[in-house]
Amino acid sequence: MKTLRLAHTNTGDILNDLLKRSPNNYTEYEGTVSGIVEDVRKRGDAALFEYTEKFDGAKLDKDTVQVSEGEIRQAYDQVDKELLGVIRRSMANIRAYHEKQKRYGWFDTTADGTILGQKVTPLASAGIYVPGGKAAYPSSVLMNTVPAQVAGVEEIIMVTPPGKDGQVNPTTLVAACEAGATKIFKVGGAQAIAALAYGTESIPKVDKIVGPGNIYVALAKKAVYGHVSIDSIAGPSEILVIADETANPEYVAADLLSQAEHDELASAILVTTSETLAQEVSRWVDTFTAQLSRKAILEKSLNNYGYILIADNMDSAIAIANDIASEHLEIVTANPFEIMTKIKNAGAIFLGENSSEPLGDYFAGPNHILPTNGTAKFFSPLSVDDFVKKSSIIYYSREALKAAKDDIIRFAEAESLTAHANSIKVRFKD
């Protein structure tokens, strides 16, 4: 990790360095992705099966692309019962948290006969993308699917890449079944996103696509936006820790590495007011890295995007945290709640030394699908709101319209929209 004393001269360089990781900067892949997307749009299943065989090594057809009930039963037999219990307890926490996000319609009336309101309706269908292949991410299954189900989405279509044997990891299948996915398909990559966006003979078109994936998935979501809605274009994982002299350096180092191990583009940053803590954290990072199984990934991630930043004071530390707008932000200070009130930009905020980032990844309940690459300045975590839409309700009595008619006509005529004005005038021509 690079250790720097924070100054105005290097803040911009750090931000530019981190933004290089954004999917928007990988334009060399856009041609390949747009070609795949267009091919699936035109040829449907035929293109989908060809790309699945090419990229995942799995030969599928219309009879095997969807996960069967028999495969789900077999998955339950294969999953450790203790792990199944963990999945269910985690899901209960996720559901309880997201239930509190539910919105309801409302109406407001006045004495002259005006009724204004808002109608909240769940999306009819949602597509859930879950990374797969060699790895299994049941936590992502839960985080994507539970808020959709809480929102009331009737059709939740999950796609995930198969292994070369044409099978989906049993833990992923069990998590999907527990969370309420209605159909599961063994496809991944840009071709899966295209299938969800346009529909094929086997996979139905959805209204919205959510979930993280690799650069091809991110760029495919960007390409189909407008034909369907998407949650966001996710970039590599990141963590920023604000710490003072009271923090435990061993804990801080462990938490930084918990995100750095995701991939070589992951970012781990410590911002501290204590030089002593900075030195101790650096030492513990080296100690842990030498011991952990993903040592090679950790080393590349930390060498490229790992920083220990020493700030002159806590206000400077908070300012750089708000500029970076990290996906995960830990506050490990003497009074983390006070610091939290000054944070404007972060995906998820973890307070105190016992609230480590993996708590949010797996168990606490808030969603772990979060804005990355500085987009926490204007995006939010995945939530129930992502799976509903709102309609405005307007009712005016004749008396209420009469009181407002002159203002409406004047406004319309000021914009030279005489048909607008006329639709009001005809109601009062006598």
Active-site positions? 327-328
Beta bridge partners of 349: 329
Write out the E strands in 67-182: 106-109, 114-122, 125-129, 155-159
Beta bridge partners of 116: 108, 394
The tokens describing 69, both together, are 């009930």
Instruction: Return d(Cα 303, Cα 162) in angstroms, integer.
Output: 33
Do 263 and 301 contact (CB within 8 A), yes or no?
A: yes
Do strands 267-272 and 155-159 pair parallel, antiparallel, or not at all (unpaired)?
unpaired
3-state secondary structure 347-358: CEEEECCCCCHH
What is the DSSP-derived secondary structure letter of residue 264?
T
Do 389 and 121 contact (CB within 8 A), yes or no?
A: yes
Write out the E strands in 255-387: 267-272, 306-310, 328-332, 348-351
Q: Which residues contact 44 (CB under 8 A, 6 or more apart)?
A: 195, 199, 200, 201
What strand order describes the sheet that includes 114-122?
A: 106-109, 114-122, 388-396
Do 121 and 402 contact (CB within 8 A), yes or no?
A: no
Beta bridge partners of 225: 228
3-state secondary structure 326-349: CCEEEEECCCHHHHHCCCCCCCEE
Beta bridge partners of 332: 243
- Amino acid (1-letter code) at residue 354: N
What is the DSSP-derived secondary structure letter of residue 225?
B
